[in-house]
Amino acid sequence: MIAMLDAWRNDANISPIDPLLMMNWRMMGTHMQNLFGTAGFGVTWIGTVITTLAALLLWKSSRLPTPLSFLMAVFGTLAATNTITWHSHVYMLTILTPFMAYFYLGGVFGEALLNAWIFALPSALFLALCLSLLTHLYQLPLNENPTGFLLGMCALFLNHYFLLLAHRNISGLISSPQRPA
């Protein structure tokens, strides 16, 4: 136990806490900082503010007339939270799984979205591993962690897409309220 505590205190780049392996705006800012210096973190702050405002807009009381629209607001808020929280890894997307299943079974989300949910991250991981292999074999000058970047960007995109879907579906539920079976 003491050895684990020493490793945690003395090694600032422990893989589980590495921001380069996350799926949030902090990950994006860290990668941008590696490319553009401290100005790269401006992307983090701008993205965080915009995402926070988009999540708060989900909760306008006039937009939540049905239980389904309330669930959609929770879904969008959790997706936004994945991107704005300071420490958020890809596995935290699993919190959206019950919502995805409920909305899919209720006919709110189609099969194409379910397929994207299931196959996007494994595909990004496969592409990233192939890129890492090519980088290693041919000594290509690339970002130090293409796997973390591609996987994190894919998850960041999915979270923002889910936030957008929540907005679209809440607007659609106001004009034609429906409830999944």
Alpha-carbon gap, residue 17 to 8, rounded angstroms = 10
Number of separate domains in the chain: 1
Tell whether 4 is covered by a domain: no
Range of the domain at 113: 16-175
Tell whether 6 is covered by a domain: no
Q: What does each C-alpha distance from 31 to 39, 55, 124 come to in angstroms?
A: 11, 24, 17
Tell whether 33 is covered by a domain: yes
Tell whether 159 is covered by a domain: yes
The pLDDT assigned to 177 comes to: 45
Tell whether 102 is covered by a domain: yes
Tell whether 81 is covered by a domain: yes
Tell whether 87 is covered by a domain: yes
Burial of 131 (0-12, 13-18, 19+ CB in 10 A): middle
The pLDDT assigned to 37 comes to: 83
pLDDT per residue of the chain (181 residues) written in tens, 0 to 9? 566 555 555 554 555 677 888 899 988 888 888 778 888 888 889 999 999 999 999 998 666 778 898 999 999 999 999 999 988 888 899 999 999 999 999 999 999 998 988 899 899 989 988 888 887 788 766 656 678 888 899 999 999 999 999 999 988 765 544 544 4
The pLDDT assigned to 52 comes to: 96
Tell whether 136 is covered by a domain: yes
